[in-house]
Copies of this chain bind each other. A is one copy, B any other.
Amino acid sequence: MSIVAVGTIGYDTVETAHGKVVGALGGSASYFALAARFFAPVSIVAAVGRDFREEDRRLFSDRGIDIRGMVQRDGETFRWHGRYHEDLNVRDTISLELNVFADFMPELLPDQRRADYVFLANISPELQAHVLAQVASPKIVAADTMNHWIENDRAALMRLLPRINILTLNDEEARMLSGEHNLLKAGRAILKMGPGTVLVKRGEYGVLQFSKDALFAVPAYPLEVVVDPTGAGDTFAGAFMGYLARKGGTSEAILRAGVVYGCVLGSFVVEQFSVGGVAGLAWDTIESRYRAFLELTDSHHPRWTTQ
């Protein structure tokens, strides 16, 4: 089943302890689609400027990503410049230029309106709702959000939450949205706001998945080198949603395997700047790390219980 994803496509300048890239392909829709495409057909809804590079257009289309909904407008592409601290959990935004994204009011293509799986990346809750209203009968809707919308557009976000199935956000955002410092209380409080599943992303500490009947906790895949954390959350969401769409369900088993694939793809993307860690991936490499992840986290793996 196919996925429609709305979000940003941008050119990022990123500085970390490992170096700097200038004007590299980024944006939530880019990371999401480049991960989701391993699992299911994915179609992007986004706006780019006249400066959008042909090579980046090909980067998507060569990987089977449907970019008919990526409209090109007069003006420049969305740009973000960020600088990470040595503690990669902390970053400063040096500049942010919305450019063509500033007055983007997405209109879905006729076939996108029939999508079964919808991902509303981290854009304003108003815009998320505007996109969602165009999809006739989605089976699964997932949304991401951030502190900015929780603080400044809370009412719209609260109206959106009962209409989505899955919310992804990081630990600080979960605390902010729920008003609960304790993460277990926070996750449970957010479930009551509407979504059937809440995924709390904890960066290097992994993911907590809350649903009505179960709680699932995974550590992040440990890495010797993290070059650039940008896009880890959207890559996680792409693999997770992709897996759900491929399986066509949301049983606890599917959700959990989806979370693990999300962590696996997320671990690849942070090993390189920009989309490098996920654009060049081969399926075998993913499956190999998926198996390593299961072994890493398994308290009673067959291999170990034979002693």
A215 to B260, CA, bound (A): 17
The answer to whether the Cβ of A109 comes within 8 Å of any Cβ in the partner chain is no
Contact A260 B219 (CB under 8 A): no
Binds B, one of A40-48, A91-99, A141-149, A248-256: A248-256
Shortest distance between the CB of A185 and any CB in chain B (Å): 6
Interface residues of A in 95-135 (CB under 8 A from B): none
1/0 contact string of A181-225 vs chain B (CB within 8 Å): 111110000000000000000100110100000111111001111
A-side interface size class = 35 or more
Interface residues of A in 252-307 (CB under 8 A from B): 252-254, 256-257, 259-260, 293-300, 303-307
- Given A299-B257, A300-B257, CB of A249 within 8 Å of CB of B294: no
Contact B225 A304 (CB under 8 A): no
Contact A300 B222 (CB under 8 A): no
Q: Which residues of B contact A222 (CB under 8 A)?
A: 183-184, 208, 215, 217
Q: Which residues of B contact A206 (CB under 8 A)?
A: 205, 219
Contact A224 B185 (CB under 8 A): yes
A215 to B293, CA, bound (A): 10
Shortest distance between the CB of A286 and any CB in chain B (Å): 15
- Given A205-B205, A222-B183, A222-B184, CB of A214 within 8 Å of CB of B295: yes
Q: Which residues of B contact A253 (CB under 8 A)?
A: 300, 304-307
1/0 contact string of A63-96 vs chain B (CB within 8 Å): 0000000000000000000000010000000000
Question: Which residue of chain B has its CB nearest to the CB of A87?
Answer: B181
Q: Which residues of B contact A307 (CB under 8 A)?
A: 249, 251, 253-254
Q: Which residues of B contact A294 (CB under 8 A)?
A: 299-300
- Given A184-B224, A185-B224, A307-B251, CB of A256 within 8 Å of CB of B299: yes
**Sample of 10 A–B contacts (CB below 8 Å):** A86-B181, A182-B224, A208-B219, A208-B222, A217-B296, A251-B304, A254-B307, A256-B300, A257-B299, A293-B299
